[in-house]
Amino acid sequence: MAFRYPERNQMRLFPVSIEDYIPEDAPVRAYDAVVDMMDLEEMGIDTEEDQVGNSRYDPRTMLKLLVYGYSYGIRSSRKMERAVHHNLSFIWLMGGLQPDHKTISEFRRTNKKALRQTLKQVARMCIKLDLIKGNTLFVDGTKIRANASVKQTWDAERCAKTLKRIDKRIEEILAECEKTDRAEEGLPSEVHLDKELTGAQNLRSKVEEIWNELKKSGEKTINSTDGDARPMRSRQGTHASHNAQIAVDDEKGLIVSSDVVDQSNDRGQLSGQVDNAEEALEKTPEEVCTDAGYSDTDDLENISSDIKLIVPSQRQVVEKKPGPFDRENFHYDKEHDIYICPAGKELYPIKRKDRRGYKTYRVERPETCKSCEHYGTCTKARLGRQITRLKNEELRDHLESVYEEEESQKTYKRRKEKAEHPFGHIKHNLQVNSFLLRGFEGVKGELSVLCSCFNIRRMITLLGGVPELISAVRGLSNKKQLYRTA
């Protein structure tokens, strides 16, 4: 069988128009059409053309570059710069414009807040196209590394130790300088000790700033590279990371809203994510479903009672059969606010300051438990058996009963395939191992763009292809057309 060999000197006839470079069903046309429909003024992007100074690149075209680049895992401004020179789809998208990496990076940096609105714009298009119903939402979170090293995480103890070490070194340098001056009197002096002293003093000032920031913020730790990143544990170990949150619609698995928080777990996050989703949907969902990581009753009671919450408790997830003397076999008498143990003994509430959100119950006299035949099996405590109860235990009991319903079980079963799919796409297909931007404004904007990329790709599939998506998006009414074609 003969081989086909390349011939670089072969004459070819390229199209005379950039428009002819890209076929009608190329995905880049879908991203182009979606960004065309975005309201840049509402997003907060400056669209004023009549300004003094040198001409700028069209902000809508720059936004297209970011969204399309992110959709194929190209997030570096330098890689985008190469793409607009050598990649035909990028050349078509930019219409021949070739901004350098500094221009791309600066546009992204100055529009962090505006980038947070991209997902809201895309979600509203999906709502108008009847792809998002907003009846049932799934909330989930994942940890994504920050653009910072965990070694740059400081706490009060580390600051104190470092300052002590620096002060000791400064004293040593000053002593060496004095000794050198006496030994080399009348000779040219060496400057390396002066440089080391300056470096030590600068480092001391930096550590003092970090320590003052810790005291001012009240945080236990702070990262000197990205002040909003926190050390978080994951399967890959402990890294400086952010906790990314999304709300996904049950109808087609499209993302409704996104957010980034600095807590290392999901406790206390659900009410805030529901508020974000309501703002994007402009209505209240009927159901919200998530995993046991969000089962914080203090937070869940802030959610409207009109929303059906499907959130299992930690004990439901474990699915461990309770033993004869486990808490589940202690009867609670609501009228008298006491617990009755399996042996018929009464446990009364006691005052404890160290258990916020909990009430503690114990027998009145330790002899009550010590004289019981089950002492040693039920408890070995010197003061007798102790039971803790949430102050809003009734809410947890209600949520557990809701979770056990047959319809709730069906909804919860769909949660995994709907809520975890977007994060799988972002991390695996888009190759997002860490954020590029720093600070909450940056990472929230970056996550919003990534979620928009997921939605647009899903829209192409759901609507039947690129031409169908373009036709549907351009057919939306009451949309501000800010993009001026040449």
> pLDDT band at residue 223, thresholds of 50, 70 and 90?
confident
> pLDDT band at residue 467, thresholds of 50, 70 and 90?
very high
Best CA proximity match to 289, nearest among 421, 209, 407: 407
Quick one: average pLDDT of 188-213?
68
| CA separation for the pair 369, 419 (Å, rounded) | 48
> 57 with 108: CB under 8 angstroms?
no
Residue by residue, what is the 3-state secondary structure of 139-155?
Answer: EEEEEEECCCCHHHEEE
> pLDDT band at residue 483, thresholds of 50, 70 and 90?
very low
> pLDDT band at residue 166, thresholds of 50, 70 and 90?
confident
pLDDT score for 109: 93
String of b and e for 443-473 (b: at least 16 CB within 10 Å)? bbbbbbbbbbbbbbbbbbebbeebeebbebb
Q: Which residues contact 254 (CB under 8 A, 6 or more apart)?
A: 123, 126, 131, 132, 248, 455, 458, 459
Q: Which residues contact 261 (CB under 8 A, 6 or more apart)?
A: 242, 243, 245, 269, 272
Residue 194 above 70 pLDDT?
no
**Locate tokens 């027998």: which residue?**
363
Best CA proximity match to 221, nearest among 155, 131, 177: 155
Q: Structure tokens of 182?
A: 């006496």
Among 48-62, 65-79, 212-226, 329-343, the range scoring the smallest mean pLDDT is: 212-226
String of b and e for 428-439 (b: at least 16 CB within 10 Å)? eebebeebbbbb
Quick one: average pLDDT of 157-174?
76
| CA separation for the pair 292, 417 (Å, rounded) | 16
Q: Packing angle between helix 77-86 and helix 59-71, nearest 10 degrees?
A: 100
Query: Based on the number of CB atoms within 10 Å of its own CB, is 225 exposed (0-12), middle (13-18) or buried (19 or more)?
Result: middle
Q: What is the pLDDT of residues 126-148, one digit of tens each?
A: 999 999 999 999 999 999 999 88
Among 42-46, 217-221, 430-434, 454-458, the range scoring the smallest mean pLDDT is: 217-221
DSSP state of 14: -
Q: What is the mean pLDDT of the chain?
A: 85
Share of the chain above pLDDT 90, in %: 45
DSSP symbols for 398-412 = HHHHHHTSHHHHHHH
pLDDT score for 180: 67
| CA separation for the pair 462, 460 (Å, rounded) | 6
DSSP state of 321: P
Higher per-residue confidence, 232 vs 178: 232
> pLDDT band at residue 34, thresholds of 50, 70 and 90?
very high
> 480 with 486: CB under 8 angstroms?
no
pTM: 0.83
Amino acid at 240: A
pLDDT score for 208: 73
Among 78-82, 93-97, 155-159, 214-218, the range scoring the smallest mean pLDDT is: 214-218
Q: Structure tokens of 11?
A: 């004459």
Q: Which residues pair with 237 in a beta bridge?
A: 234
Best CA proximity match to 275, nearest among 262, 259, 263, 261: 259
Q: What is the pLDDT of residues 434-457, one digit of tens each?
A: 999 999 999 999 999 999 999 999
Q: How far is CA 408 from CA 12, 38, 72, 262, in A?
A: 62, 37, 37, 30
Quick one: average pLDDT of 99-127?
94
| CA separation for the pair 171, 243 (Å, rounded) | 43
Higher per-residue confidence, 231 vs 48: 231
| CA separation for the pair 217, 224 (Å, rounded) | 14
Q: What count of residues does the chain have?
A: 486
- E-state strands within 10-152: 136-145
> 149 with 268: CB under 8 angstroms?
no
Residue 368 CB coordination number (10 Å): 18
| CA separation for the pair 253, 250 (Å, rounded) | 5
Q: Which residues contact 308 (CB under 8 A, 6 or more apart)?
A: 286, 287, 288, 402
Best CA proximity match to 92, nearest among 6, 172, 9, 26: 26
Best CA proximity match to 482, nearest among 24, 47, 72, 165: 47
Q: Which of 319-328, 385-394, 397-406 has the highest mean pLDDT?
A: 397-406
Q: What is the pLDDT of residues 4-18, one digit of tens each?
A: 667 777 776 677 788
Q: Which residues contact 436 (CB under 8 A, 6 or more apart)?
A: 75, 76, 147, 442, 446
**Locate tokens 């790709």: which residue?**
457
**Alpha helix segments (H runs only) across 361-464:** 366-370, 393-403, 406-419, 421-424, 439-463
- E-state strands within 192-330: 221-223, 230-234, 237-249, 255-261, 287-289, 308-310
| CA separation for the pair 364, 387 (Å, rounded) | 13
